Structure 1
Amino acid sequence: MSHSRAAVLFVLCLAAFTINVATMIVNVSLPTLTREIDASSRDLLWIVDAFNLAFAALVLAAGSLSDRFGRKGALLAGLAVYVISSLLCAWSDSPGELILWRTVAGVSSAIIFPTTLSIISNVFPDRHERARAIGLWGAATGIAIAAGPIVGGALLNSYWWGSAFVFCAVLGAVTFALAAWLVPTSRDPQTPPLDVPGLLLSSAGLGALVHTIIEGPERGWASAQTLGGFAVALAVLGLFTLWERRQEHPMLDVTLFANLRFTAASGAVTFAFFSLFGFVFLIAQYFQFVLGYGVLEAGLRQIPVALSVAATSLLGTQLAVRFGSKAVVTGGLLVFAGGFLWISSVGRDTGYLAIALQMVMVGSGLGLTSAPATEAIMGVVPAAKAGIGSAVNDATRELGGTLGVAVIGSVALSIYRESIADAIPAGPLRDLAQESLGAASVAASRAGDPTLLTHAQEGFLDGLTAGCFVAAGVALVGAILVALFLPAHPQDDRA
């Protein structure tokens, strides 16, 4: 790898790191936002999910447009908007204002993220080099998992809440400057006409799907609103598919999904991030409200998972080239499932060494799954269409992650509430405690009753166990499907 291409790869990994670390920083900032800007539980949900909704709705369209108009320009435009929106987040005066600018940040991230992989794919056309580059890209994501809580915790302990968003803006500005200097431009050498209906249908369909998933736990999965939302989303996405099949120059060549290497690898990413995001949602609460770690300490305790993701992302892509994607991705999902089953046994007195080893197992499973599957996806897509290929990879991550938080979170919360109802007499304190483990901690403090918190912690651990079983089951199903359908090697390298 030449020095110039190594520099380009560094900048693209930094861009991916910037988006991922910001997501983790925002998650650890939520309790502080409750105190500082009077954000309700509903506000906190949308401070996170406004970003996710905008990202998921627009990522396919953004990836396609970057192929058409140029990937470097899209990267720079996205970073510029990201910096501005992060600064405006920092100086928001109300939850509504913060949600607005988080939505804009989601739009900018939908523009940025697909360009990172698509430029990598064009700068490294050789499969062996591309696999190593994608491994490093995956490692940057892994490092962000731990860096976000550590940086966020340190800033929130020392400065005002907006400093976390200022940090994101500064990181984005540095990435912008380096990208403007070092990153080459690339685009589809053809200039097909814009597929405007395809752009609109993909955005509407994905937006409706993600919005329905986000609202599912609140409205009820079997409610008319939720079922109607899924029906609308599937109808629009079905119409999008029919439209794309009839176009001479489609936004997304849906025949790619006839390639099992593309489809099975995309499914593996979806299964992996379903389990991962659901797990992250629960483990952060376990660290803070069961083991009593502060925000910064909880972040530091997650370093093992970050390091293992980074190491196995690098290793996994190289193993996939040598031994085949099927074996590596299947093995990764099996390790992933085993890690969740092990974590299901944690309790209030579990030692950190055991927890660290469990996180290494989960992180290793993710690294052996996500990076090799991403390499398989990008290896199928022609170089000229790398932007839309990258966007499909990003969309599967986002859909899997959003669904994982909603489903695993719903399962865990349902069991937690049942445990609270059985252990605590009816009344205002029980009503407050049933909202969340954090709310139960507040209720116990108000009542001066430590047994209330003990009951809540036991109920949370019951929910965590069930959530881990769901995560393990999904990962196991993914492993079986990958073993059945993912070809070990590409039939030929890229067009």
Structure 2
Amino acid sequence: MTTAAAPPRVPEAIHRRRWAILGTLLLALLVVVLDNSILNVAMKTIATPAPVGLGATQSDLEWSINSYTLVFAGLLFTSGLLGDRFGRKRALLAGMVVFGIASLLSALAASPGELIGYRALMGVGGALAMPATLAIIMNVFERSEQPKAIGIWAGAVGLAIAIGPITGGLLIEHFWWGSVFLVNVPIVVVAVIAMVILVPESKDPNPGRMDPIGVLLSIIGLVALIYGIIKGGELADFTAAGAWVPTLVGVVALVAFVWYERRTAFPALDVTWFRNRVFSASVVVVGVIFFALMGVSFFGVFYIQSVRGYSALQAGVLMLPLAAAQLVFAPRARLVVDRLGVAATAAGGMLLVALGFVGYVVLTATTPIWVLVLLGLVMGAGMAHVMPPVTVAIMASLPREKAGAGSAVNNTFRQVGGSLGVAVLGAVLSTVYRDGMADTLTHLPEGLRDKAGESLEATLAIAGRIPGGEALVAPANDSFIHAMHVVASLSVGVSVIGAVVAWFLLPGRSAAPAGPAGPAPEQRGQERESAAADA
């Protein structure tokens, strides 16, 4: 006796163009990730005084990243619900338009404050677009093809990281710093046209009410917490009121957010999802890996350009191995999962990332540059074996109609982890560097002393303006490298924690992951009729 195969859930008209749809969605992913990887290369130039740059301080540089990621993370819950309620295609298109306009404004920014504000507006656009990309993938691919599609989706991150530094380096060498944002505009135009033509609409047939109180609490909590951490780094004193008071406010707001979400009838974040061990472990691993990697991308730029003396373009080339390894291995990670299971694959990937950080701990000012290339390959291969399997685990844990909210959770932990990585590791880097330069800078006037102690770039800028300033260069490089070693050591520990979580809490090869609670048969029929009409 044979059992008939379950009928496909995706209408045939949509199924036939699923790969074209995926390619269109990757444009949205490409432009968002491309912008952040370009920004990493451009940070040194933006820190240069006008007219070359904006004269941004270390804190300005951190907030040019954090203003985007905080707005992104704070609005992801609402954006995921908006997409599920009103249509993911509508959310995707709105996000891309806002992102394109904000990119144009960022290119024309006249001060660090303006750049930070326009970057926050870019976060609004990214928050609308990103959850929709993964949610649409879950609704145009059958379950059997979703791991492959998500692997390609994750591999596109590697492609964007690869293109970003090279593009940024070329633009910085031939144009002004604002060109790194202006390049987004034509990509957005092409993406919007393709999305209008190809992408089908989908939505949750039974959405809940919005949760403005929960969203507001999450924004207050994240902004206050990370502001306190950054302020502690600027002051070189985490016990100062300017650091611990906002940190405490952030913790209290986040606790209140969790308390409220558990009790409201229509939460922005359904905290009961976290009772699923696989779901909880997966989002923790996502946050952990981006915490570590965003920190290293932040200090890596200054090591390559300021300590080693490479140009922005050369710095982009040296970041290529990290991205290339992701591009090659991410789409194939599902094959490793089939053989070893999610737990072993993700834990092994986290250990490769940790091994890469061990390499950063031993870097010096004269280490052969091929060592940096090798570290990039190791870390990229590690990340490629973490992101696809844990993303599949997150999305497979939830009903298909909640794909927007599930994608929002995945991206929230990714962005919050990255933002915390820049804030925490950036604060540690700043504090250790300042302490290391304290004795060297004692002979400078007080105003110059405080300015020179902010960052390596600030020290080198002042060294170039004062008589005998060249004597500051070697101590500054030594202090920065020591601070980088401290930050890399912390990242090793964080990565190992992520490996332990993955090994013990994610499913092994023999474990069949529990499928999400699907809709009732009559509801599935309504979904198919609606999708066919949209096609």
The alignment's TM-score, normalised by the length of structure 2, stands at: 0.87
After TM superposition, give the deviation of residue 210 of structure 1 in Å: 4.0
For the residue of structure 2 that corresponds to 1:188, the secondary structure is coil
Deviates more, 1:162-171 or 1:253-262: 162-171
**What is aligned with 2:18?**
5
Larger Rg computed on CA atoms:
2
**What is aligned with 1:62?**
79
Aligned CA distance change for structure 1 residues 169 and 473 (closer, same or farther; 3 Å): same
| Residues 14 and 140 in structure 1, CA contact (< 8 A), matched pair in contact too | no
Aligned CA distance change for structure 1 residues 475 and 257 (closer, same or farther; 3 Å): same
**What is aligned with 1:483?**
503
**Counterpart Cα distance in 1 of 2:364 and 2:254:** 43
Q: Which amino acid aligns with 1:394?
A: N
After TM superposition, give the deviation of residue 310 of structure 1 in Å: 1.7
Deviates more, 1:282-291 or 1:33-42: 33-42
After TM superposition, give the deviation of residue 490 of structure 1 in Å: 4.8
**Counterpart Cα distance in 1 of 2:89 and 2:228:** 33
**What is aligned with 1:461?**
481
Task: Give deviations 1:403-433, integer Å, cap 9, x for gaps.
Answer: 2122222223333223323445531465444
Q: Which amino acid aligns with 1:444?
A: A
Indicate yes or no: 2:454 matched with 1:435.
Answer: yes
**What is aligned with 1:148?**
164
**What is aligned with 1:139?**
155
Unaligned runs of 5+ in 2: 1-13, 519-535
Q: Which amino acid aligns with 2:455?
A: S
Q: 2:329 aligns with which of 296, 312, 322?
A: 312
Deviates more, 1:461-470 or 1:425-434: 425-434
**Counterpart Cα distance in 2 of 1:66 and 1:83:** 19
Aligned CA distance change for structure 1 residues 203 and 487 (closer, same or farther; 3 Å): same
**What is aligned with 1:368?**
385
| Residues 70 and 219 in structure 2, CA contact (< 8 A), matched pair in contact too | no
**Counterpart Cα distance in 2 of 1:352 and 1:270:** 30
Matched length: 494
**Counterpart Cα distance in 2 of 1:421 and 1:458:** 13
**What is aligned with 2:515?**
493
Whose helix fraction is larger, Structure 1's or Structure 2's? 1
For the residue of structure 1 that corresponds to 2:17, the secondary structure is helix
After TM superposition, give the deviation of residue 287 of structure 1 in Å: 0.5
Indicate yes or no: 2:70 matched with 1:50.
Answer: no
After TM superposition, give the deviation of residue 272 of structure 1 in Å: 0.5
Q: Which amino acid aligns with 2:82?
A: L
**Counterpart Cα distance in 2 of 1:274 and 1:88:** 28
Task: Give deviations 1:443-476, integer Å, cap 9, x for gaps.
Answer: 3333355442112111111111111111001101
Deviates more, 1:439-448 or 1:63-72: 439-448
| Residues 131 and 321 in structure 1, CA contact (< 8 A), matched pair in contact too | no
Task: Give deviations 1:373-401, integer Å, cap 9, x for gaps.
Answer: 11211111211111111111111111211
Aligned CA distance change for structure 1 residues 383 and 209 (closer, same or farther; 3 Å): farther
| Residues 277 and 404 in structure 1, CA contact (< 8 A), matched pair in contact too | yes
**Counterpart Cα distance in 1 of 2:61 and 2:359:** 30
Aligned CA distance change for structure 1 residues 119 and 437 (closer, same or farther; 3 Å): same
Q: Which runs of structure 2 are paired with 1:338-377 in the superposition (5 Å)?
A: 338-377=355-394
Task: Give deviations 1:239-263, integer Å, cap 9, x for gaps.
Answer: 3333333344433221110111010
**What is aligned with 1:412?**
429
Q: Which amino acid aligns with 1:99?
A: I
Aligned CA distance change for structure 1 residues 307 and 38 (closer, same or farther; 3 Å): closer
| Residues 226 and 247 in structure 2, CA contact (< 8 A), matched pair in contact too | no
Indicate yes or no: 2:71 matched with 1:26.
Answer: no
Task: Give deviations 1:55-80, integer Å, cap 9, x for gaps.
Answer: 12111111121111110000000111
| Residues 380 and 490 in structure 1, CA contact (< 8 A), matched pair in contact too | no
**Counterpart Cα distance in 2 of 1:466 and 1:339:** 14
**Counterpart Cα distance in 2 of 1:460 and 1:342:** 16
**Counterpart Cα distance in 2 of 1:94 and 1:416:** 26
Q: 1:16 aligns with which of 26, 29, 33?
A: 29
After TM superposition, give the deviation of residue 371 of structure 1 in Å: 2.2
For the residue of structure 1 that corresponds to 2:183, the secondary structure is helix
After TM superposition, give the deviation of residue 16 of structure 1 in Å: 0.9
After TM superposition, give the deviation of residue 492 of structure 1 in Å: 2.5
Deviates more, 1:279-288 or 1:50-59: 50-59
Aligned CA distance change for structure 1 residues 138 and 160 (closer, same or farther; 3 Å): same
Aligned CA distance change for structure 1 residues 262 and 221 (closer, same or farther; 3 Å): farther
Aligned CA distance change for structure 1 residues 95 and 432 (closer, same or farther; 3 Å): closer
**Counterpart Cα distance in 2 of 1:104 and 1:161:** 19
Q: Which amino acid aligns with 2:180?
A: A
For the residue of structure 2 that corresponds to 1:276, the secondary structure is helix
Indicate yes or no: 2:181 matched with 1:181.
Answer: no
| Residues 433 and 456 in structure 1, CA contact (< 8 A), matched pair in contact too | no
Task: Give deviations 1:473-493, integer Å, cap 9, x for gaps.
Answer: 110112112222223345323
Q: 2:270 aligns with which of 253, 260, 276?
A: 253
After TM superposition, give the deviation of residue 322 of structure 1 in Å: 4.0
| Residues 380 and 493 in structure 1, CA contact (< 8 A), matched pair in contact too | yes
| Residues 229 and 427 in structure 2, CA contact (< 8 A), matched pair in contact too | no
Q: Which amino acid aligns with 1:169?
A: V
For the residue of structure 2 that corresponds to 1:35, the secondary structure is coil
Deviates more, 1:8-17 or 1:159-168: 159-168
Deviates more, 1:275-284 or 1:449-458: 449-458
Aligned CA distance change for structure 1 residues 206 and 427 (closer, same or farther; 3 Å): closer
**What is aligned with 1:124?**
141
| Residues 44 and 302 in structure 2, CA contact (< 8 A), matched pair in contact too | no
Aligned CA distance change for structure 1 residues 419 and 214 (closer, same or farther; 3 Å): closer
| Residues 313 and 372 in structure 1, CA contact (< 8 A), matched pair in contact too | no
**What is aligned with 1:328?**
345
**What is aligned with 2:50?**
35
| Residues 57 and 205 in structure 1, CA contact (< 8 A), matched pair in contact too | no
After TM superposition, give the deviation of residue 402 of structure 1 in Å: 1.6
Backbone CA RMSD of aligned residues:
2.2
**Counterpart Cα distance in 2 of 1:170 and 1:344:** 40
Q: 1:386 aligns with which of 403, 410, 413?
A: 403
Deviates more, 1:425-434 or 1:168-177: 425-434
Q: 1:300 aligns with which of 317, 327, 330?
A: 317
Aligned CA distance change for structure 1 residues 490 and 67 (closer, same or farther; 3 Å): farther
